[in-house]
Chains A and B, each alone.
Chain A
Amino acid sequence: DSGVTQTPKHLITATGQRVTLRCSPRSGDLSVYWYQQSLDQGLQFLIHYYNGEERAKGNILERFSAQQFPDLHSELNLSSLELGDSALYFCASSAQGAPSSGANVLTFGAGSRLTVL
């Protein structure tokens, strides 16, 4: 157990629907990162939150949004789902939130596998 908790583990839904993926970071970590993993695109960075604030955006579609709550858990909302959104969505956490000379090792959760039919 990495200490990063993601729910649900599996989710099957239909095109056009909306889903919410949830992530609780490792105790003490203030940063949460969301990644999408698919066979054709590999691991794609979506978004980064630090202590409730959005810090960086990657290849995140406008149909997707995220937030980090005061208790530091984060949610990734995916709407108007398309077949191509089927993927494994990972949340990762780290203690770092500002540039540092130390390594920023990300600890990953087990992932949420989304299947859009």
Chain B
Amino acid sequence: ELKVEQNPLFLSMQEGKNYTIYCNYSTTSDRLYWYRQDPGKSLESLFVLLSNGAVKQEGRLMASLDTKARLSTLHITAAVHDLSATYFCAVDRSRGGADGLTFGKGTHLIIQP
């Protein structure tokens, strides 16, 4: 059974601090997706990592992928309140990605002033 595990599941941090969210997965997939969900809202695609060693950055968020370790990280630099949300990582349900995604349980991130 395909498993996607995120940790931590809940994170409260102060503005200006740095932190990393971890995503471990059990498949041999070389693709990894990150999504963001605001409370009561839909999921929004943040990053798609397509190969081992891939790194993507946007603003204060940086995602990376290590397919050998089956690990992706989402690093937050100098956090600001607007980044408060739930972050999900996901992998393809099947090889080639035709059958949608399996998601982790999400990391609920609260950034306090």
Contact = CB atoms under 8 A, between A and B. Distances in A.
Given A45-B93, A56-B93, A105-B45, A99 B98 contact: yes
Contact of B31 (A31, A90, A103): A103
B58 interface: no
B113 interface: no
Interface stretch (A18-26, A69-77, A108-116): A108-116
Given A2-B42, A43-B88, A106 B100 contact: yes
Interface string B25-60: 000000101000000011111001010000000000
Interface of B, helix, strand, loop or mixed by DSSP: loop
A99 B99 CA distance: 8
Interface residues of A, number: 30
A56 B94 contact: yes
Given A105-B45, A107-B45, A48 B99 contact: yes
A43 to B, nearest CB: 4
A84 interface: no
B102 interface: yes
Which of the listed residues B43, B48, B88, B95 has the most CB atoms from chain A within 10 Å of its own CB? B43
Contact of B103 (A42, A94, A96, A97): A42
Contact of A42 (B41, B44, B98, B106): B106
Interface residues of B, number: 25
A99 B94 contact: yes
Nearest to B92: A104
18 contacts: A31-B100, A43-B43, A43-B88, A45-B100, A45-B101, A50-B98, A90-B43, A92-B100, A96-B97, A98-B96, A99-B96, A100-B98, A103-B31, A103-B50, A106-B100, A107-B45, A108-B43, A110-B41
Interface of B: 31, 33, 41-45, 48, 50, 88, 92-106
Given A43-B103, A103-B97, A106-B43, 13 more contacts: A42-B103, A42-B104, A43-B106, A45-B100, A45-B101, A45-B102, A48-B99, A92-B100, A99-B96, A101-B96, A105-B45, A106-B101, A108-B42
